């Protein structure tokens, strides 16, 4: 025995002697004879370098060091006893930790409801949430800093290196300053819309969706005039409110009720020199592993199954 490792068996022997304060009764409880027990406690004291019991011919008492150790030893043995059950629960995904990233759009409505429901059903699975754009999430996956993420992209452009589950599809809508002349029309005319300066996210954030927005202008033979780039959807909407320009945003952003901003959908009828229908975007849950959740940590597999059920229930 050394000072870096003491077997649980020895700690159980210490605890039993501390509770009985009698080596004979403690040995009886432990189903052993007294001499080996006395020897084990003496070896423990030598390993620790301090006496744990005061012994006389009439009594056994804990020393101050023994008293100080007693609560920690009880806690240690309680935890050790719980380990087999905890291992079985972890294997079943009942306990664990999920580091989950998300884009702001899913945070407006779906994510809060799903987090609440998942935590209610899985109270011992910790969800660690971090808001991050798609490019930041991909870097975090590479560094092993997140387990899963909700990402925004154009249909068919989920990250190819990751398993994914489509959770939402929605159109892009036009965010306009409330005082803008185009805001007066329920269906603004395309030529006027395409002439407005644009507030948009940098292409590196969501390349597929950025290209889809630019494709609207190219289809009409126009090149968008980018007035300002911004990363977060809330910031983009705030810039629109300030009159910097107009912006194409996912429909879910309408949940972010910013004063001074209105949302419109231009006329979708295809005409010469006009692009027609606006693009749609998808939100996907992405993770490393198989699409059915195989090959991932049990807690994450449980979360993937939960989100899949929510999506199917909503269809």
Query: For the segment 221-248, what is each residue's pLDDT rounded down to a tens digit?
Result: 999 999 999 999 999 999 999 999 999 9
Q: Could you say which architecture CATH assigns to the domain 96-167+283-314?
A: 3-Layer(aba) Sandwich (3.40)
Query: For the segment 190-221, what is each residue's pLDDT rounded down to a tens digit?
Result: 899 999 999 999 999 999 999 999 999 998 89
pLDDT of residue 45: 93
pLDDT of residue 123: 93
Query: For the segment 294-312, what is each residue's pLDDT rounded down to a tens digit?
Result: 677 899 999 999 999 999 9
- For the structural domain made of 8-89, what CATH number should be given? 1.10.10.10
pLDDT of residue 121: 93
Q: Name the phi and psi angles at 120, rounded to 5.
A: -65, -40
User: Quick check: 104 pLDDT over 80?
Assistant: yes
pLDDT of residue 271: 58
**Every domain of the chain and the residues it spans:** 8-89, 96-167+283-314, 170-282
Can you tell me the distance from the alpha carbon of 14 to that of 31, in angstroms, rounded to the nearest whole number?
Answer: 14
Q: Name the phi and psi angles at 255, rounded to 5.
A: -65, -25
Q: Are 284 and 165 in contact (CB under 8 A)?
A: yes
Can you tell me the distance from the alpha carbon of 105 to that of 241, in angstroms, rounded to the nearest whole number?
Answer: 18
User: Quick check: 153 pLDDT over 90?
Assistant: yes
Query: For the segment 51-99, what is each residue's pLDDT rounded down to a tens digit?
Result: 999 998 889 999 999 999 999 999 999 888 877 777 766 666 667 899 9
pLDDT of residue 3: 47
Query: Which helix (H) or strand (E) element contains residue 297?
Result: none
Residue with tokens 């580091």: 99
Q: Do domains 96-167+283-314 and 170-282 have the same CATH topology?
A: yes
pLDDT grade for 107, boundaries at 50, 70 and 90: confident
Closest of 168, 147, 196 to residue 311, by C-alpha: 168
Query: For the segment 6-30, what is each residue's pLDDT rounded down to a tens digit?
Result: 899 999 999 999 999 999 999 999 9
The CATH number corresponding to 170-282 among 3.40.190.10, 3.90.1170.50, 1.10.3720.10, 3.40.250.10 equals: 3.40.190.10
Query: For the segment 255-288, what is each residue's pLDDT rounded down to a tens digit?
Result: 888 899 999 998 766 555 556 678 899 999 999 9
Q: Are 153 and 281 in contact (CB under 8 A)?
A: yes
Average pLDDT, the chain: 89
């Amino acid at each position: 025995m050394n000072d870096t490792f003491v077997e649980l068996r020895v700690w159980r022997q210490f605890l039993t002697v501390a509770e009985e304060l009698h080596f004979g009764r403690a040995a009886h409880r432990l189903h052993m004879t007294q001499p080996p027990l006395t020897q084990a406690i003496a070896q423990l004291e030598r390993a620790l370098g301090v006496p744990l019991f005061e012994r006389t011919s009439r009594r056994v008492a804990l020393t101050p060091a023994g008293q100080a150790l007693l609560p920690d030893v009880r806690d240690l043995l309680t935890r050790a006893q719980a380990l087999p059950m905890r291992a079985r629960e972890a294997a079943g995904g009942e306990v664990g930790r999920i580091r989950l990233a998300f884009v702001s759009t899913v945070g407006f409505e779906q994510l809060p409801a799903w987090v609440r429901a998942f935590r209610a059903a899985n109270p011992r699975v910790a969800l660690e949430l971090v808001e991050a754009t798609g490019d930041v999430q991909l870097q975090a996956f590479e560094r092993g800093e997140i387990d899963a993420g909700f990402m925004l992209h154009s249909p068919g452009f989920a990250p190819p290196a990751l398993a994914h589950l489509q959770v939402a599809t929605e159109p892009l809508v036009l965010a306009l300053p409330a005082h803008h002349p185009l805001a007066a029309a329920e269906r603004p005319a395309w030529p006027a819309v395409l002439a407005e300066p644009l507030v948009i996210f940098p292409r590196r954030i969501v390349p597929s969706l950025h290209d889809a927005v630019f494709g609207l202008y190219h289809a009409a033979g126009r090149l968008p005039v980018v007035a300002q780039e911004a990363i977060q959807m809330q910031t983009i909407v705030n810039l629109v409110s300030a009159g910097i320009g107009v912006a194409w945003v996912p429909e879910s952003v309408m949940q972010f009720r910013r004063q001074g901003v209105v949302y419109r959908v231009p006329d979708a009828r295809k005409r010469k020199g006009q692009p027609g229908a606006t693009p749609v975007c998808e939100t996907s849950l992405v993770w490393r592993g198989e699409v059915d959740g195989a090959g991932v940590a049990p807690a994450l597999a449980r979360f993937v199954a939960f989100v899949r059920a929510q999506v199917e229930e909503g269809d």
